[in-house]
Amino acid sequence: MNAHDLFEAGMQFHGHKCPAMPMGLRAGLAAMDALGVEHSRDKELHVVSETGAGHVAGCFVDGIMTATGCTYGKSNIQKLYYNKMAFTLIDTLTGRSIRVSLKPSFFNQVLNSPFVLQRRAGVLPQNIPSEDVDFQVEKILNLAEENFLEIGEIQQIDLPEGEGMFDVKPCARCWELTFVNKLQDSADGLICIPCAAEK
Ligand SMILES: [Zn+2]
Ligand SMILES: [Zn+2]
């Protein structure tokens, strides 16, 4: 899929039109191109995002997820909460990885764009007039990578271990089925984390 098709797919679940989601989408595609990898159907790819919470442009991550196929549900994306507009894409089959970040000059421009200025004034993203965001989204979808992305060198990293857990048992207190790798011993038998936290 090209960036425009992916943008339409991303819009379906993202919920509003904004500059940050397509920025993440382009950045994700650039990282995939650099590594020579395809959209992750299972956990072939893993993303470590340096974005966080409580800052604008966090929508960047929804673009990265749309492009790479690394999703919260598959647990092949994680956030470091550094509140930086950067991420590392890892090819879990080879251990090759690449870090991509937004060029500071470009990100500063975005932060002073009509969209973000209205967000700063308290306007919800879905209420920003399309003439204030459409041109910006279109520009981002067509920008040359070197004009807005810093693409690092390919690095080789040690891959984390871990197979999917298939086995469940009921918690001895709430009786909800819980994957056994998060059950713990108690006087009543194996219990889940929330029950263990209750007095
Ligand atoms: Zn958004
Ligand atoms: Zn329980």
Structure tokens at 57: 């442009």
Predicted pLDDT at 162? 66
Q: Name the packing angle between helices 20-35 and 60-68 (round to 10°).
A: 40
Predicted pLDDT at 40? 94
User: Of the bound ligands, which one is closest to the alpha carbon of residue 169?
Assistant: 2
Predicted pLDDT at 160? 67
For residue 128, what is the DSSP state?
A: S
User: Taking ligand 1, which is a single-atom ion, which protein residues have CB atoms under 5 Å away?
Assistant: 18, 21, 59
Q: How far is the CA of 192 from the centre of ligand 1 (A)?
A: 35
For the chain, list residues with pLDDT below 70: 160-163, 199
Distance CA 55, CA 83 (A): 7
Residues 21-55 have pLDDT tens digits of 999 999 999 999 999 999 999 999 999 999 999 89
Distance CA 196, CA 199 (A): 8
Residue with tokens 């819009």: 11
Q: What are the structural domain ranges in the chain?
A: 3-156, 168-197
Residues 175-192 have pLDDT tens digits of 999 999 999 999 999 999
Residue with tokens 């991303």: 10
Nearest C-alpha neighbor of 45 from the set 100, 97, 102, 101? 97
Nearest C-alpha neighbor of 81 from the set 50, 102, 54? 50
Predicted pLDDT at 112? 96
User: What are the residues facing 100 on neighbouring strands?
Assistant: 87, 151
Q: How far is the CA of 170 from the centre of ligand 2 (A)?
A: 8
- Other C-beta atoms within 10 Å of 124: how many? 9
**Burial (CB count within 10 angstroms: exposed 0-12, middle 13-18, buried 19+), residue 149:** buried
User: Of the bound ligands, which one is closest to the alpha carbon of residue 195?
Assistant: 2
Q: How far is the CA of 100 from the centre of ligand 1 (A)?
A: 19
User: Taking ligand 2, which is a single-atom ion, which protein residues have CB atoms under 5 Å away?
Assistant: 171, 173-174, 192, 195
Task: Find all residues with CB under 8 Å of 145, minimum gap 6, and list them.
Answer: 26, 30, 151
Structure tokens at 146: 């070197």
Structure tokens at 199: 């007095």
Q: How far is the CA of 31 from the centre of ligand 1 (A)?
A: 20
Q: How far is the CA of 75 from the centre of ligand 2 (A)?
A: 22
Q: How far is the CA of 197 from the centre of ligand 1 (A)?
A: 35
CATH superfamily of 3-156: Tubulin/FtsZ, C-terminal domain (3.30.1330.20)
